Structure formats: structure tokens, C-alpha cells
Amino acid sequence: MASTTSSESDSQSFESQKPVVSLDTATVRFCGDSGDGMQLAGTQLSSTSALLGNDVATFPDFPAEIRAPRGTKAGVSGFQVHFASTPIFTPGDSVDALVAMNPAALTTNLVDLVPGGILIVNEDAFNEKDLKKAGYESNPLEDESLDGYKLIKVKMTKVTRTAVEDLGLSVKESDRCRNFFAMGLTFWLYGRTMDATLRYIDEKFGKRPAIADANRRALKAGYFYGETTEAILTHYEVPRAELEPGTYRSIMGNTAISWGFIAAAKLSGKELFLGSYPITPASDILHELSKHKNFGVRTFQAEDEIAAVCSAIGAAYGGAMAITTTSGPGIALKGEAMGLAVMTELPLIVINVQRGGPSTGLPTKTEQADLLQALFGRNGECPMPVIAASSPADCFDTAIEAWRVASKFMVPVVLLTDGYIANGSEPWKIPDFANLPSIKIKHPEQSTSNENEDEFLPYARDENLARPWAIPGTPGLMHRVGGLEKQDGTGNVSYDPANHQHMVDVRQKKVENIADDIPPQELKGPNEGKLLVLSWGGTFGSCRTAVNTMLAEGKAVSHAHLRYLNPFPKNLGEIISKFDQVLVPELNMGQLNMLIRARYLVETVAFNKVQGKPFSVYELVEKINSLL
């Protein structure tokens, strides 16, 4: 959904008679059973806020169980939306307004609601059976335990059924409209227009008029409930943010990375091939790319992870832009084939959307504990460049950059995101395609060997140590590739010890040379000082916000966020050397911290969290202050 920074419609459906309070920022969380449509409610609120010109960041949270028993804590699904009139980088530490559809949702999410925050609950769901499932001994709506919040009890089930009762729907169909009631009430509470959601209803349910009408009625019932109920005396507005002028849309990380790959294919004149096996949280990249056959995208859902990566290697050998997507468990299975791509020196992108581990671990929760796996999780000396995205919108740019590196240096590249980035969303300024960097790829058209021989040398190297990318079937370019060690130049199988040493050195040097082709590391804050916060991946938003908070207080703190993890930027060591202390926050047990200490021989402070949740800004500010 595209818009300029001036929204398509700033008008509300009517002029409210209740007082309006202006806020700089607001954070709202919808939570309920996984079938209650909380993800849709959050998505609509974030899209609407983006259309109104706010900066937006989101954090969806859903259970790993496909269908946990209704009303249980294991089945709670949530979606948090942070919208503001100033630039923001996180979905918010705490929640200003919590919408809880049942007791289980309340008990698992109440801890994040700020004291005095708005608490909207579906009163109809607080029956004896559901209270018992959630572990309540008494009804919290009646025992004064919620007196510290602005409690708004709404009989959502009853009101929604009344709004749609003449449409001939079943009770189940009627109850499925409750999320639109919750949306409408929240839209009124924060001055959001219903226009975009009404259009969504028409597009989504247009072929089922009764369902479309029911959702429209539920949305408007919730909206006007806010205006008429005496339980809510005021509502709020969050002015538009001063964003860089342009055309924006709200975008999720998996969507952005998919579009980045499509753009990279067009920039390099290549057909895009994806070989993938579905796995949470990477599956949506396969889903998204499969929609774009009109751009020459070919997707192959393989029978397993090994077949997926091998099909991508075959596509790369045939001259296509080849990618494969997975999460940590899939990387473990792809390891041998990734070594084959290193040995054959073919351009390939391996995307790892990291999740909690080990084994199946926490498949719907975020983590960044696959860094060492990306660097070293293959047999033998098997170097691969590693690049990491920092935010949902940044996925677009990192996808293009990963392909630029892979095709220029004839090397497979690991591209890391995580569940937080993949499923989160933020405003993305749609770029002008003409301004994107071109990616020039030239295939040899005839033998490039010396004048006295007609034999093509598949491992002849250019100034980047990249071998020629010869397309099979090109006259005079017959050559041999495979998993056995190759003789440099000819590509013949070689067991010569000196040749093996030479080829290992060359493959390593080729990756190291990428440091000469990437930008120097950027720094937010003073060039030297008491403390440097060094981060990577999905911790960007919380780290940047924490450092901005410290800088506003006059503290000598700076922030460097790494995109390139192998090789590191050439100036990283120099940056680190100018600070008294280096703090390395990671959603793992200290993997980047170990690499930095080993590479630069400096004392660092690890700050680690493995709870399936991102860092809060408060946690980081507290840690920074303790070091200062």
C-alpha cells in the first residue's frame, strides 16, 4: 500500500465531540487466541498509521503450535504497533494500550502495559472456564487487581453479534468479526481513519458480500462505541512525522528481501531462481517470490533442504541468479552443499532467517545465534562472506548488496536476518529504480586461455580472484567443476598438497579482498569517547535508540552497527581502538563478542539475551549507564 508522506485521507468519519489529547508516540498491542485475527488487526493499524504519515515499527508475536487449545496461554497471539510523530527504530519497550480478547491474553501480556495504561478487554470471554485455563483463581475484572490501569470492559462478543445478526451468519462467523470491532475501537481511540481498512474489506471479502458487510459493520460498531461509551472520556492524536519526502509504504522484512532480490535480478539482467524448503520464519520469502512470475522469477519448493540448495547451485551453474532460503536448522542440512558452492566458486545467496534454537527450539521467536554457524558451520576451510540486515526496510538493500558481492567475486554469500526483522514492518521509501546501483555481469563468450591453446581455463582469475562464470553450452567453454579439489587454472581434479594449500589460500584471500570493495564502517556519535556500542542484525533499533538517548543526555557514547560480518570493514579496528570500553549486545551468548576479541585483541563487554525477545531500550540504557 503506497502513499506519500501526506496521507491519502486524514479525515475521520465524523467530528468527535470528546476531548482530544496530542501525543508524540503511542504503542498498542492486540492479543488473543491465534484464531482471533490479532495479526490482521495489528497490520491494519500499522498500515493506517503509515498512511497518516506516522513513523511506524511493529512486532508480531505468534505461537509455534499450529492450533493450540483455545483460551490457553500457549495459544496466545499478539501484534504490537508503535507509531510516532518522530523517527523511531523499535516497536516500543512497553505498551500504552493493550487489547486483550481473553483471560490468557491478559495474563501473558499485562506485564508490558505501562502503569495507568489503557486496558481494553472482551468482557464476554472472562467466564469461569476460560479464567481457569488462564490460571486465574478469581476474575481480574472484578477483584480490583486491575485498578492501576484505565480498564475498559467491552462485551465485544455480544455487541459484534448484535451488529451482524440480520446477515444470516453462523455464530462462529459472527464471532470472527470481533477483531474488526477491536480495530474500530482502537482507530477511534487514536484518531485513525477507517478508510484504508474499509478498502481492505472490499478487496479481501468482495466475493463474499455477507462476510464483507459483517466486517464493515463490526469495524464501525467498534469505532462508534468509542464515541458513545461513557467509559472513555478522551481520545488521542499522534501528528504526522517529518519524514524525508517521497512515496512510502509499510513493508515487512520478508517482503522487502523478496523485492530486493527481484530488483537485483533486473539490475544484473538475470532470471531469479529460488530453491527452497518451507521453514518458519523464512517461508514467506518463498510465498512472496512465487507471486512474481511476471518478473521472470522461478520458485521451486523442494522436498527437503538439501534438494533446495542443490537446485539453486544447479541454477547458478546454468547462469541464473540463484538463492535459497531457510532458518538455522536448514542451514545445518545445507552445509555440505554450501561447501560445494565454495569449491565450485559459483555465485549463490543463502538466506538464514534466524530463530531460537537449538534443534526446533523457538521457531516463532527471534534470536541471532547463528553467526558462528554462518562463518564456520561447514567442513574444511570453507570461507563465505556474511552480510546481515538491520531492519525490515534494510532487507531490500542488503539483498541487492549480497548479490553484488556474490556475482562480482564469484562466491556464495550468507545473508542473515531474523524472525524479528522478517515479520516486523516499518515505512519504506520506495526507491527510484533508475537510481539503484547497476550490477554488471559479463560471461565469457569464447575461450580465454593463452594463445597457444584452445583449452578454456575455468579457474583463471581476474583482479578480484574471481573465476569466469561460463554458461554451459557456450562453444569452446567446456569445463569441469565439482566437489573434489581443483587445480588452479585448469579445474582438473588435484590431490597435490601444494595445490590444495594454494587453493585454500586463494579462496580465503578472495573473501578477504571484499573488504576493499565495501564502504568503511559508519559511526553514530563522537569518533572517540568512553563507550562504543557495537551491534549487528536486528538489535539495530534498540541500540540506536539507547545511544540517541545517551547522546541527548550529554553522555560520551557512540554506536557502530555492522552490516558486513565477514570480512569486517577495514576501519573497524581503528574505530574500536578510540574508545575506553566496547559493549557488544547480542541475542546470543556472545558470538560477535568472541570474534571481536579474537580479531582485535581488545577487552569487550558482552551483553547477552536469549529469551526469544529483542532487547528493550530500557535494558540497554541501564547497561550503558552501569558501564559509565
What is the pLDDT confidence band of residue 454, given thresholds at 50, 70 and 90?
low
DSSP code for 241: P
Least confident of 206-210, 505-509, 522-526: 206-210
Closest C-alpha to 222, from 178, 191, 190? 178
The H-or-E segment that residue 259 falls in is helix 253-268
Helices (H), 520-590: 540-552, 572-577
Phi (first) and psi of residue 496, to 5 degrees = -65, 125
Q: Is the peptide bond before 472 cis (omega within 30 degrees of 0)?
A: no
Of 7-11, 520-524, 537-541, minimum mean pLDDT range: 7-11
31-45 per-position pLDDT tens digit: 999 889 999 999 999
Calpha distance 262→269 (Å, rounded): 11
Contact 346, 315 (CB under 8 A): no
Confidence of residue 10 (pLDDT cuts 50, 70, 90): very low
609 closest CA partner among 429, 407, 368: 368
- Do residues 113 and 175 make contact, with C-beta atoms less than 8 angstroms apart? no
Least confident of 221-230, 419-428, 453-462, 527-536: 453-462
H or E element at residue 57: strand 55-61
For the four alpha carbons of 539, 41, 397 and 365, in that order, the dihedral sign comes to positive
Nearest residue to 331 (alpha-carbon basis) of 415, 422, 420:
415
Contact (Cβ atoms closer than 8 angstroms) between residue 584 and residue 534: yes
8-state DSSP, 327 = -
Residues 573-617: tens digit of each pLDDT: 999 999 999 999 999 999 999 999 999 999 999 999 999 999 999
Contact 603, 422 (CB under 8 A): no
Whether 624 and 531 have beta carbons less than 8 Å apart is answered as: yes
pLDDT tens-digit profile of 283-317? 999 999 999 999 999 999 999 999 999 999 999 99
Q: Tens digits of per-residue pLDDT, 107-140?
A: 999 999 999 999 999 999 999 999 999 999 999 9
Whether residue 1 has pLDDT greater than 50: no
Indicate the average pLDDT of the chain.
94
Distance CA 310, CA 276 (A): 10
Q: Which residue stretches of 348-418 are H helix?
A: 371-376, 394-409
Of the candidates 586, 423, 589, 398, the one whose C-alpha atom is nearest the C-alpha of residue 91 is 423
Residue 453 neighbours by CB under 8 Å, 6+ apart: none
At residue 14 the predicted structure's pLDDT band, cuts being 50, 70 and 90, is low
Residue matched to cell numbers 577495514 = 570
Q: Which residue has the cell 540504557?
A: 621
414 φ/ψ sector (left φ>0, alpha ψ -120 to 50, else beta): beta
On whether the CB atoms of residues 385 and 510 are closer than 8 A, the answer is no
Q: What is the pLDDT of residue 439?
A: 97
Q: Helices 209-228 and 178-189: crossing angle, nearest 10°?
A: 40
- pLDDT for the residue 447: 58
Average pLDDT estimate for 537-562: 97
Name 31's bridge partners. 78, 100
Arithmetic mean of pLDDT, 91-101 = 96
Q: Report whether 456 contacts 448 (CB < 8 A).
A: yes
Cβ atoms of 488 and 499 within 8 Å: the answer is: yes
| Overall pTM > 0.85 | yes
- Between 111 and 8, residue with greater pLDDT: 111
3-state secondary structure of 302: coil
Condensed to tens digits (0 to 9), the pLDDT of residues 457-515 reads 999 999 999 999 999 999 999 988 899 999 999 999 999 999 999 999 999 999 999 99
Give the Cα separation of 235 and 26 in Å (integer). Answer: 12
Determine the 3-state secondary structure of 81 from DSSP: strand
Report the alpha-carbon distance of residue 580 to residue 597 in Å, rounded. Answer: 14
DSSP string, 418-458: EHHHHH-EEEEEPPPGGGSPP-------S--S-TT-----T
CB 612 within 8 A of CB 550: no
What's the grid cell of residue 472?
Answer: 554451459
Supply the DSSP symbol for 351. E
> 10 Å Cβ neighbour count for 434?
6
Nearest to 522 by CA among 513, 541, 535: 535
Q: Which of 80, 89, 94, 50 is nearest to 238 (CA)?
A: 50
pLDDT at 449 over 70: no
The yes-or-no verdict on residue 75 having pLDDT over 80 is yes
Whether the predicted pLDDT of 415 surpasses 80: yes
**pLDDT reading at 181 higher than 80:** yes
